[in-house]
Amino acid sequence: MSVDHKPHPKPAQYVQIALVLGVLTAIEVALYYTEDFVGVFTDPLLIILAVGKFVIVVGWFMHLRFENSLINKFFTGGMILALILFAIVMFERAAANFI
């Protein structure tokens, strides 16, 4: 409906994006099994991969990067607020239990 958005990708591009997502998932599962080799890097890597997949689906499949920036602000705002609030709760609970 909105007039001024950039053109959405073509089906072929969607398939390519899905392939990337599939490969990332494969890497994730592989990381799970190679935890003994990768060691402490496993969890950060898994988080980075999940964030990557998240951004790809939101940006391309949900067309967020083609939308008006207002929508982007809402979604990112909600995301950041949730991250801050829940990080505080988690740290507070961890700290309280540690003591």
| 41 binds another protein per the rule CB under 8 A | no
Contact 27, 47 (CB under 8 A): no
Among 34, 41, 65, 78, which residue sits at the site for another protein (rule: CB under 8 A)? 78
DSSP codes joined into one string, 31-91: HHHTHHHHGGGHHHHHHHHHHHHHHHIIIIIS-GGGS-HHHHHHHHHHHHHHHHHHHHHHH
Among 37, 58, 65, 66, which residue sits at the site for another protein (rule: CB under 8 A)? 58
Query: How many alpha carbons fall within 13 Å on the CB side of residue 33?
Result: 5
Q: How many residues form the binding site for another protein (CB under 8 A)? A: 55
Contact residues toward another protein (CB under 8 A) are 1-4, 8, 10-11, 14-15, 17-18, 21-22, 25, 28-29, 31-33, 43, 46-47, 49-50, 53-54, 57-58, 60-62, 67-68, 70-71, 74-75, 77-79, 81-83, 85-86, 88-90, 92-97, 99
